[in-house]
Chain A
Amino acid sequence: MNILLRSWSAYTRATARWPGLAALVPFIPVIALWVAVTESGMFPRAFLPGPVEVVKAFFSLTYRGILPDYLQDSLVRLFTGAALGMAIGIPLGILIGTSKWAHRVSWPILLFFQAIGDIAWLPILLIWFGFGLTTMTFVIVYTVLFPVVLNTVLGVESVPRDLARAARSLGASPARVLWEVTLPGALPNIITGLRNGLGYGWRALIAVEMIVGTSGIGFMMFDARRSGSVVEILLGMIILGLLWYIVDAWILAPIERATGQRWGLVTS
């Protein structure tokens, strides 16, 4: 018992010093289980390769330049789509959030189109735009747009009325109220919307790449299926998970800590 407690306390201290450790340690049993299953010979190796084969495939594909190229293609598509989605979604959300009239008119329409999720657009997009970048970008923008709009509206509406009133009676014009009060007040929600949007967009992108892609991680995985290369499929899946973790932990979480939590708008 004593040893357990002491090692727990050592682990707590270690993770406090190296926060990355806390993210890695939980994977040790997962990987151990994976190794155990592959080593037991329950499945043929070609059916379920082990971690070592996947790591080898990673180095081989990286060496041949395929993986970096595909990764870059996917990320550029995601961030282009996300940037466009934000550029449309944030102003739209602010308009709907500040105008009762715009809210009444647009809300049912928004909910209607939100339900026709990303992939459901593919058949008609393929007829309109064919197998290409336009189709892919449309799907990503569409997927990112809704969480950004809906969360921005929520954020704008959650800014206490007294804050705008205070700004007005301190001499702020309506335009300055928007900049000094509405936007910063809605920011934590906008970031939540962005986080959800990127998450959905990432998934949609992989799906679209499988269907219309000629490059990208999704394409790599689907193409590997054709040649029966389970190693590459597994590698693709692991990359999806790792990339999202990096985006979330290194980009989104720090922004959240620097804004909403610092101001006490969000309890950590």
Chain B
Amino acid sequence: MKTLELRNLKKTYFDPYAGSHVTAVHDVSLEVQQGDFVSVVGPSGCGKTTILNMVAGFIPHSGGEILLNGKAINGPGPERGVVFQSFALFPWKTVLDNVGFGPKMRGVPKAERDRIAHEYLALAGLSHAASRYPNELSGGMQQRVGVVRALANHPEVLLMDEPFASVDAQTRMTLQEELTRIWQERRPTVIFITHDVAEAVFLANRVVVLSKGRVLDQIEVALPRPRVWDDLIEDETFKRLSAQVLHMVRSA
């Protein structure tokens, strides 16, 4: 079942200094099935974050359609959860209240949303940090909160914008493994934006390669799950797929 569909999506900006229009996304069509995990990879300036911002409803699109369960989207909404590269946790709220924010906006009573938040914090191994403030946590822990905050709101689709780009390399690998584990347990529909080819292949069922505002190719990743770096780093299929995507991204 199709959850999300992009049809001939286009984005042009007006540059007031140059006095002309700039096209960031030319013509992108994409389908994402319910429960699928799709990575979008491409060099910087290929329009991948612009696409995510349009799907999230943060910026309007200039042409084409964005359909969620067959209906056109209109502005940001809770059915499209977002995980940010900057984490975007509310500094004045405890970890528990950050995770309970989505349920709070839905009008869920305090006791019930605390129960939900505790459940999701446990999923990310963060139960001990519930009463702490975001600035008291490491970057890796902050982004775990960012991920479960989005998940606790039961979005139809989870949009992740280079979420692990600002944590250190070791933590990033742990977070990637945890994300695949959580995805297997909960089966959210995920669109994962990244410029890291290995990350894109490691996480996804399908990798969409983007170049200059167009879809260059889509590659199925038929690697078995659960995926663990210690196994995949030596895996021939993983190496071959990564190399294939890397060549495409570099020649793009």
Residues of A within 8 A of B (CB): 160, 162-163, 165-173, 176, 180-181, 184-185, 187, 259, 262-265
Pair A259/B92 contact, Cβ less than 8 Å: yes
B residues sitting closer than 8 Å to A (CB atoms) are: 56-58, 75-78, 80-82, 84, 86, 88-92, 101-102, 105-106, 133-136, 149-150, 153, 159
Residues of A within 8 A of B134 (CB): 264
| Besides the known contacts A165-B56, A264-B91, 13 further A-B residue pairs in the complex with CB atoms under 8 A apart | A162-B86, A165-B76, A165-B84, A167-B101, A167-B105, A168-B75, A169-B81, A170-B105, A172-B101, A187-B92, A262-B133, A263-B135, A264-B133
Partner of B77, one of A162, A163, A166, A171: A171
- Contacting residues, chain B, for A185 (C-beta < 8 A): 91-92
Please tell me which one of the listed residues A165, A172, A265 contacts residue B88 in the complex, with CB atoms under 8 A apart: A165
**In the complex, what residues of A have CB within 8 A of residue B76's CB?**
165, 168-169
Please determine whether A169 and B78 come into contact, CB atoms closer than 8 angstroms. yes
- Min Cβ gap B118→A in Å is 18
CB pair B133–A160 under 8 Å, yes or no, is no
Q: How far is the CB of A172 from chain B (nearest CB, A)?
A: 5
B105 touches A169 (CB 8 A): no
Question: Would B82 and A165 count as touching, CB distance under 8 A?
Answer: yes
Asked whether A170 lies within 8 Å of B101 as measured between CB atoms, the reply is: yes
A-B contact pairs, 30 of them (CB 8 A): A162-B84, A162-B86, A162-B88, A165-B58, A165-B84, A166-B84, A167-B105, A168-B57, A168-B75, A168-B76, A168-B77, A169-B56, A169-B57, A169-B58, A169-B77, A169-B81, A170-B78, A170-B153, A171-B153, A176-B105, A180-B90, A180-B101, A184-B90, A184-B92, A185-B92, A187-B92, A259-B92, A262-B133, A263-B135, A264-B133
Residues of A contacting B86 in the complex (Cβ-Cβ under 8 angstroms) = 160, 162
A263 to B58, CA, bound (A): 26
* Tally of contacts, chain A with chain B, CB under 8 A: 76
| Residue from the set A160, A168, A169, A180 with the largest chain B CB neighbour count within 10 Å | A169
A160–B85 Cα gap in the complex (Å)?
13
- In the assembled complex, the CB of A58 is this many whole angstroms from the nearest CB of chain B, namely 43
User: Which residues of chain B are near A162, meaning CB under 8 Å?
Assistant: 84, 86, 88
User: Closest CB of chain A to B184's CB: distance in Å?
Assistant: 24
Contacts of A163 in B (CB 8 A): 88, 90
- A167 CA to B106 CA in the complex, in Å? 12
Q: Which B residues touch A187, using CB under 8 A?
A: 92
Assuming A181-B90, A263-B92, is B149 touching A170 (CB within 8 A)? yes
Residues of B within 8 A of A176 (CB): 105
Report the minimum CB–CB distance from B17 to chain A (whole Å): 17
Ranked nearest first, the 10 interchain pairs of A and B with the lowest CB-CB distance are A264-B135, A171-B78, A171-B105, A168-B76, A162-B88, A166-B88, A170-B102, A263-B91, A184-B92, A169-B82
Q: How far is the CB of A123 from chain B (nearest CB, A)?
A: 45
- A186 CB to closest chain B CB, in angstroms? 11
